[in-house]
């Protein structure tokens, strides 16, 4: 099913025409006076990234939103996983795109990292963890499961979905994400998923934004998603980042100039989306901000929202607050939220 088919099936998406000069969908979660804190892959300093436990801990700690990475499996399911292959964070091997959801469920995605609270690896099998954060075989999350988790948060939440490219499925990745969201009641104009009223309580909405390092993915989404909910990701192109990309591509040293040129070109295109108002959220890495504060100030002055990743050190958080960054992505949401609240309470006096 293509984006055109999705639009025809669920109704026209009016958000694609929205730009920064138009009506901005109202934010949910933190008061506008406070910098919002997104939990990077959940509270991933405490628990293994992209697990039910990491997401639940982030919600417990008061994070304004979750940041997740999504891939399509071989049978078309949307799983939350960062890497393109499973080796680093599981006991398996091979690409995520080559596995079915059932095969992904069978992986141990917990044992590679011991939670900060754990004394022994047996912590993951303890009754306390299972009752609070789910059993080990319940840790892999799909996009529909994340939505259900956020609906149970008891307060408005934000969800930042990163589309991982290059994907062997191309733009089908974006289309499948939109299908899941639309089935959950997502409004393309506001990019909000309605909450579920539980036992007479209030229904809390989920504000959805879309992120990618791939400008093409954001342009594709822009046909249906308002610019204010698109986040263009980019970072400095360094020798280390070039070497890391070469390792992923499994190419020799002779390809280094070509790889570096492609990375620089992609980063330039990603920045252009922000300058041209095709993406209302600028998503630079903290290193980029540290070395190019003038660009950050210019984007803020022009009305762009800054969502900076990944800030775990107090000195980095302080720098971002001084610059007026609106959203911070961190592996340590509890600590960063405490610092943000304290700093902004002090400045309000």
pTM of the model: 0.90
Q: Is the peptide bond before 18 cis (omega within 30 degrees of 0)?
A: no
CA within 13 Å, CB half, 92: 18
- Taking the C-alpha atoms of residue 299 and residue 220, their distance in angstroms, rounded to an integer, is 23
- Taking the C-alpha atoms of residue 110 and residue 185, their distance in angstroms, rounded to an integer, is 32
User: What is the chain's mean pLDDT, rounded?
Assistant: 89
Domain that holds residue 171: 3-11+31-347
pLDDT given at position 3:
63
C-alpha distances (whole Å) from 242 to each of 163, 180, 253 are: 21, 34, 11
Interval 187-204 mean pLDDT: 88
pLDDT band (50, 70, 90) for residue 174: very high
Return the top range by mean pLDDT from 185-199, 249-263, 330-344: 330-344
pLDDT band (50, 70, 90) for residue 19: very low
pLDDT tens readout for residues 102-143:
999 999 999 898 644 444 455 555 666 677 898 888 999 999
Is 60 exceeded by the pLDDT of residue 7?
no
CB 91 within 8 A of CB 108: yes
pLDDT given at position 345:
85
CB 38 within 8 A of CB 211: no
* Cβ contacts of 33 within 8 Å, gap of 6 or more: 344, 348
Return the top range by mean pLDDT from 12-21, 32-41, 300-309: 300-309
pLDDT given at position 130:
72
pLDDT given at position 126:
61
pLDDT given at position 116:
47
Interval 308-312 mean pLDDT: 98
pLDDT given at position 17:
37
CB 165 within 8 A of CB 270: no
- Taking the C-alpha atoms of residue 289 and residue 181, their distance in angstroms, rounded to an integer, is 32
- Taking the C-alpha atoms of residue 58 and residue 42, their distance in angstroms, rounded to an integer, is 6
C-alpha distances (whole Å) from 209 to each of 189, 231, 232, 325, 340 are: 12, 7, 11, 17, 22
Residue 26 maps to a domain: no
Is 80 exceeded by the pLDDT of residue 23?
no
Residue 17 maps to a domain: no
Phi-psi region of 161 (alpha: psi -120 to 50; beta: other; left: phi over 0): beta
CB 73 within 8 A of CB 142: no
pLDDT tens readout for residues 211-227:
999 999 999 999 999 99
Residue 213 maps to a domain: yes
CB 260 within 8 A of CB 237: yes
Torsion, CA 222, CA 228, CA 234, CA 235, rounded to 10: 180
How close are the terminal C-alpha atoms of the chain, in Å?
54
pLDDT given at position 123:
59
Question: Which range is least confidently modeled, 154-163, 170-179, 190-199, 228-237?
Answer: 190-199
Is 50 exceeded by the pLDDT of residue 342?
yes
Query: How many structural domains compose the chain?
Result: 1
Active site residues: 40, 82
Residue 318 maps to a domain: yes
Is 90 exceeded by the pLDDT of residue 2?
no
Q: Please count the residues of the chain.
A: 349
- Taking the C-alpha atoms of residue 328 and residue 306, their distance in angstroms, rounded to an integer, is 8
Residue 19 maps to a domain: no
- Taking the C-alpha atoms of residue 254 and residue 208, their distance in angstroms, rounded to an integer, is 42
pLDDT given at position 247:
84
- At 150, phi and psi to the nearest 5? -70, -35
Of 281 and 244, which is predicted with more confidence? 281
The CATH number covering residue 206 comes to 3.20.20.190
Q: What does the DSSP assignment read for 60-127?
A: HTT-SEEEEEEEE-TTS-EEE-SSSBSSTTSS--SBGGGS-HHHHHTS--STTS--TT-SSGGGGGSH
Residue 20 maps to a domain: no
Of 134 and 19, which is predicted with more confidence? 134
Residue 163 maps to a domain: yes
Residue 41 maps to a domain: yes
């Amino acid at each position: 099913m293509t984006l055109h088919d999705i639009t025809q099936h669920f109704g026209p998406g009016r958000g694609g025409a929205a730009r920064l000069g138009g009506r901005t969908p109202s934010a949910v979660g933190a008061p506008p006076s406070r910098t919002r804190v997104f939990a990077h892959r959940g509270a991933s300093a405490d628990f293994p990234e992209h697990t039910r436990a990491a997401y639940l801990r982030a919600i417990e700690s008061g994070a304004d939103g979750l940041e997740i990475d999504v891939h399509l499996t071989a049978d078309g399911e949307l799983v939350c996983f960062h890497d393109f292959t499973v080796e680093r964070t599981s006991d398996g091997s091979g690409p995520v795109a080559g596995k079915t959801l059932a095969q992904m469920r069978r992986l141990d995605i917990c044992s590679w990292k011991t939670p900060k609270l754990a004394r022994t690896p047996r912590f993951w099998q303890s009754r306390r963890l299972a009752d609070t954060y789910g059993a080990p075989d319940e840790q892999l999350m799909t996009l529909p499961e994340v939505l259900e988790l956020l609906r149970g948060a008891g307060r408005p939440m934000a969800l930042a979905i990163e589309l991982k490219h290059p994907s062997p499925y191309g733009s089908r990745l974006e289309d499948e994400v939109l299908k899941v969201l639309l089935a959950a009641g997502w409004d393309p104009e506001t990019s909000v998923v309605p909450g579920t009223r539980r036992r007479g309580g209030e229904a809390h909405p989920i504000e959805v934004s879309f992120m990618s390092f791939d400008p093409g993915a954001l342009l594709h989404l822009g046909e249906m998603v308002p610019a204010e909910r698109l986040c263009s990701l980019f970072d400095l192109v360094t020798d280390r980042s070039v070497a890391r990309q070469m390792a992923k591509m499994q190419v020799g040293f002779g390809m280094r100039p070509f790889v570096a040129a492609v990375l620089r070109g992609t980063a330039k295109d990603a920045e252009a989306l922000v300058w041209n108002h095709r993406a209302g959220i600028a998503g630079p890495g903290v290193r980029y901000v540290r070395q190019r504060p003038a660009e950050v100030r210019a984007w803020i002055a022009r009305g762009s929202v800054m969502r900076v990743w990944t800030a775990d050190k107090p000195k980095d958080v302080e720098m971002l607050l001084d610059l007026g960054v609106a959203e911070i992505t961190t592996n340590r949401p509890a600590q960063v939220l405490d610092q943000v609240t304290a700093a902004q309470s002090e400045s309000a006096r």
